Chains A and B, each alone.
Chain A
């Protein structure tokens, strides 16, 4: 158990809908990263938050948004869903700069868009 939790574990929804994925980092970790794993794109970085602020953005679609709350949990919002958004979404966390090398991954949320 990495200490990172993600809910829900599975999500099935229809095209055009909106969903919210939730991530709670390890206790004390300030950084949260979101990754998308799909069959055609592999594992891709979406966005990084550090202590509530956005630090870096990857190939994140404009239909997707994220935030990190004062209690450090993070949410990834996916809207106007398309079939191609079906994927496994991971969040990962680690600690302060220079002290933590490893990113600890949550179990993932498997999103299926029908």
Chain B
């Protein structure tokens, strides 16, 4: 079984500051993938970034980067230079293998950017 823990139910961050959203995971699978999704108030799930367990480098996608610490089983999302449009729910998720299995989600973090 796989598990994702997001310990920050809500965060408030000043616009233009960087923010780190925490995610720890538990899995017995030798290979796995970690995802972050954004869910704005409109409800859709928007893919942000992916990290494979065997990837040597931390993933980056524009203003998003993933601080992957395998030994600590953590996959924190870092958003640089936050914008008002970043206000949303953020979900961390894990999948065994290469991605063609079910996603297991955490409970999410509600991020609010303050102007």
Contacts and interface: CB of A to CB of B under 8 A. Distances in A.
A102 interface: yes
Given A42-B107, A43-B91, A104 B100 contact: no
B75 to A, nearest CB: 14
A55 to B, nearest CB: 8
Contacts of A84: none
B44 A98 contact: no
A58 B43 CA distance: 22
Interface residues of B, number: 22
Nearest to B102: A45
A40 B35 CA distance: 22
A102 B35 contact: yes
Category for how many chain A residues contact B:
20 to 34
A101 B50 CA distance: 8
A108 B104 contact: no
B43 A45 contact: no
A11 interface: no
Contacts, number: 64
Contacts of B88: none
A110 interface: yes
Contact of A110 (B43, B98, B105): B43
Nearest to B91: A43
Nearest to A101: B99
B105 A43 contact: yes
A45 B104 contact: yes
A100 interface: yes
23 contacts: A2-B47, A42-B105, A42-B107, A43-B103, A43-B105, A44-B105, A45-B103, A48-B102, A58-B102, A88-B43, A94-B100, A98-B98, A101-B50, A101-B52, A101-B98, A103-B47, A103-B103, A104-B47, A105-B37, A105-B47, A107-B43, A108-B44, A108-B45
Interface of B: 33, 35, 37, 43-47, 50, 52, 91, 95, 98-105, 107-108
